[in-house]
Amino acid sequence: MAVIFYLSGSGNSLYAAQQIAEKLEECRLETIGSYLRKPYTVEDEIVGIVSPVYCFALPPMMAQFLAKLNAKPNYCFGVVTMGGNQGRALKQMSEALSAKGVALNYAQTVIMPDNFFGIPLEKRIEQLKVAEPTIAKFAQDIAQAKEDLGSVKEAMLWKLFGTSASWWYLKNRLNFEKLTVDANKCVGCGICADVCQMENIKMVDGKPTFGNNCASCLGCFHWCPQSAISAGKLTLDNSKRYVNPNINLEMMKGEQK
Ligand SMILES: Cc1cc2nc3c(=O)[nH]c(=O)nc-3n(C[C@H](O)[C@H](O)[C@H](O)COP(=O)(O)O)c2cc1C
C-alpha cells in the first residue's frame, strides 16, 4: 500500500500527486493539513511527498508536517513543483526525513506555472506541455521503485540568504500573510473555505474569515471566482489568476479534506 502526502494551492502539486498515484497500486492521497490535524503511524510501504517550493525552500507547513511524520516506509520519494528554482527544497526534505529515520530513495523537481508571479497564458501552456510528460516519467520511475537523488543538492546561498530574505520581503514588504476579502466582490460561495487544506477559512455570515493556520499556498486567492481575496499587497486580476487546468474544484475539495 502507498500514500502520497501533498500540499497544493493552485493544483500543480495535486496534479503531480494524482499522476504518480495512478501508476501505483492501492495508493491514496492525503493532504498534510489532514495529517497535521490528526497525526498517526503510517503503515504504508511506499510513502511519497509532493510539495510546492516556497522562497527557495519547502513551505514552512511542509517542514512542520515532516517533523511530525511517523512512518517507516520501504521506499520513499519526494517531488517538488516550482516556478523555476528549488533552492534547497529537496535537500531540506531529505534532511527532515533522515531526522525521522526515513531515507529518501527518489527525488525530483518539475517546473510548472508559478502561482506567485503572474505568468502569461502562452508561457503557462508551454511549461505544462513539458511538465506533463516529465511527471509521467517520474510516475513510471516510482512505480519501478527506481533510486535517483541527483536533484538533492545543498544550496548554501539560498540557505543563508535566499529563504529568510524572501520571507522577510513577503511578510514585511508585501504584508503577504494578511488575507482580506473585498466584501463588494465576494458572493459568499465558500469556495475559498472548501479549497483551504488547513481548514483555516470559516464562512461567517456569508463571508470568509481567516484563522492563524495559513500555509501561504494562495489556494483561496487563485480559486476565488470573483478575485475577491488579497494577500497583503498581492491582488489578482484575471491575467494573474492561475489554477492548474487539469485540476477542478471537485478534485481540490474531494482530496483536500
Ligand atoms: C509563497 C510562494 C513562494 C514561492 N517561491 C518559489 C520559489 O522560491 N521558487 C520557485 O521556483 N517557485 C516558487 N513559488 C511557485 C510555486 O512553487 C509553484 O507555482 C508551485 O508549482 C505551486 O504549486 P501548487 O499549485 O501545488 O501550490 C512560490 C509560490 C508561493 C505561493
Compute the distance between CA of residue 110 and CA of residue 96 in angstroms, rounded to an integer: 20
On whether residue 183 sits in a domain, the answer given is no
Query: Measured from the CB, is residue 12 less than 6 Å from ligand 1?
Result: yes
Q: Is the CB of 9 under 6 A from ligand 1?
A: yes
State the pLDDT at residue 240.
83
Instruction: Using DSSP, state whether 137 is helix, strand or coil.
Output: helix
In three-state secondary structure terms, 9 is coil
Identify which of 114, 169, 216, 221 to mutate to test ligand 1's pocket (most ligand atoms within 8 A of the CB).
Answer: 114
CB of 185 closer than 8 Å to CB of 226? yes
Query: In the prediction, which pLDDT does 9 show?
Result: 97
Burial 18-45, CB ≥16 within 10 A → b, else e:
bbbbeebeebebbbbbbbbeeeeebebe
Domain of residue 37, residue span: 2-158
Task: Give per-residue pLDDT as tens, 119-147.
Answer: 888 999 999 999 999 999 999 999 999 99
Predicted confidence at residue 238, as pLDDT, reads: 74
Q: What is the pLDDT of residue 119?
A: 86
Overall pTM > 0.95: yes
Instruction: Tell me the CATH number at 50.
Output: 3.40.50.360
pLDDT tens figures, 165-209: 999 999 999 999 999 999 999 999 999 999 999 999 999 999 999
Specify if 206 maps to a domain.
no
Structural domain total, the chain: 1
pLDDT at res. 257: 41
Binding site membership of 218 for ligand 1 (Cβ less than 6 Å): yes
Residues of the chain with pLDDT under 50: 256-257
**Is residue 18 situated within a structural domain?**
yes
Decide: 119 and 113 in contact? Cβ < 8 Å.
yes
The predicted pLDDT at position 255 comes to 54
Atom of ligand 1 nearest to the CA of 15: 26
CA 52 to ligand 1 center in whole angstroms: 5
Q: For a pocket test of ligand 1, which of 115, 220, 236, 242 has the largest count of ligand atoms closer than 8 A to its C-beta?
A: 115
- Asked if residue 154 is part of any domain, the answer here is yes
Residue whose CA is at the smallest distance from ligand 1 atom 4: 54
Q: Which three cell numbers stand for residue 20?
A: 504518480
Query: Which residue is associated with the grid cell 539560498?
Result: 158
> For residue 170, is it within any domain?
no
Percentage, residues of the chain above pLDDT 70: 99
Q: Read out DSSP for 199-240? A: --EEEETTEEEE-S------HHHHH-TT--EEETTB---TTT
Ligand 1 in contact with 53 (CB < 6 A)? yes
Query: Which of 53, 247, 248 most suits a substitution to test ligand 1, by most atoms within 8 Å of the C-beta?
Result: 53
Helices (runs of H) and strands (runs of E) counted in the chain: 10, 11
Q: What is the pLDDT of residue 157?
A: 83
Radius of gyration of the chain (CA): 18
Residue 150 within any structural domain of the chain: yes
On whether residue 69 sits in a domain, the answer given is: yes
Task: For residue 54, give the C-alpha cell.
Answer: 516556497
